[in-house]
Amino acid sequence: MKILLIIAGLCALGFSARWNWWRLPKKGVAILMYHKIGTPPRDSRLRKLWVSPRKFEQQMNYLRKKSIPVISFAEYYQMLQEKRVPEKAVIITFDDGYQDNYSEAFPVLKKYGFKAMFFLVSDTIGIINKWHDPATEPHQKMLSLEQIREMQAAGMEFGSHTLSHLNLNALNIEAANIQITKSKPVLEEVLGKPVDIFAYPYGAGAYNPRVKQLVKPAGYKLAVGIKQAINMRDQEDLFALKRITVRGDENMFDFYLQITRGKNRL
Ligand SMILES: [Zn+2]
């Protein structure tokens, strides 16, 4: 009997470590970070960055069913300016600009009437992503100009994810500055409107003052990093906003914990 109780106790501890239900819910804006929507290729070593189309739809459906407001970055910026950030809202973001964002995510977003932000790597538009080692993660097709324009016409937002997806912490200051500043006019030319939001590749630079100080003078209004948390209403660093990674191997309970607590695991 004693043994059974010990086993049950250990199971409960294990469950609570893997799924942090005991954290208190947090008020603020949860910025979700997706990469690829689809089935990972067999030789992918970055499978967690692939969310299946079925799961993505379930997640969007959950936001709708629970009436959780999905806001755009333009709306969020306005709310920050006016100091009326909501107690509960979600922003949907996609990093890198993969073509599957158009083929798999865009139809679902349209179906639910949700806007999302897509962070583009300006040198790779219409071609493939070249920054992964193809031995560990096959190169993927990136959004084309036509696809970007179609998505924009349907209300989607686009931000900068640099020129070529280098690790900004590994560059000298001039090279980092070029990556941050030069992608902006290229994208503005494509979109025909200002590009106000920046995302640091790998989150690198968001926590490095030497790099982070380059972003505001480049003309961006906000920037996102990859620290896992909900953005509380009044205390955020607007050039290192927190995001929540939605991993392909997580279930709906994880998703619920993420958007209510900002974290689902230790
Ligand atoms: Zn990226």
Q: What are 122-178's pLDDT values in tens digits?
A: 999 999 998 888 888 889 999 999 999 999 999 999 999 999 999 999 999 999 999
What structural domains does the chain harbor? 25-261 (3.20.20.370)
Q: What pLDDT, on a 0 to 100 scale, did the predictor assign at position 63?
A: 98
Q: CA 241 to CA 57: how far, in whole Å?
A: 25
Q: CA 53 to CA 75: how far, in whole Å?
A: 27
What's the 95 CA to ligand 1 centre distance in angstroms?
5
What's the 68 CA to ligand 1 centre distance in angstroms?
26
Whole-prediction pTM value?
0.95
Q: CA 40 to CA 51: how far, in whole Å?
A: 8
What's the 11 CA to ligand 1 centre distance in angstroms?
37
Beta-carbon neighbours within 5 Å of ion ligand 1: 95-96, 201
pLDDT of 1 strictly over 80? no
Q: What pLDDT, on a 0 to 100 scale, did the predictor assign at position 2?
A: 85
pLDDT of 64 strictly over 80? yes
Residue 252: name the closest of 101, 54, 37, 112 by CA: 54
What's the 58 CA to ligand 1 centre distance in angstroms?
24
CA angle 229, 235, 238 (to 5 degrees): 80
* Structure confidence by residue, pLDDT tens digits, 186-225: 999 999 999 999 999 999 999 999 999 999 999 999 999 9
What's the 202 CA to ligand 1 centre distance in angstroms?
6
pLDDT of 4 strictly over 90? no
Mean of all residue pLDDT scores within the chain:
94
Q: What contacts 91, CB < 8 A, 6 or more positions away?
A: 29, 30, 31, 32, 70, 71, 72, 73, 76, 117
* Structure confidence by residue, pLDDT tens digits, 14-42: 888 888 888 888 899 999 999 999 999 88
Residue 126 to residues 83, 91, 121, 157, Cα–Cα distance (Å): 39, 25, 10, 18
pLDDT of 57 strictly over 80? yes
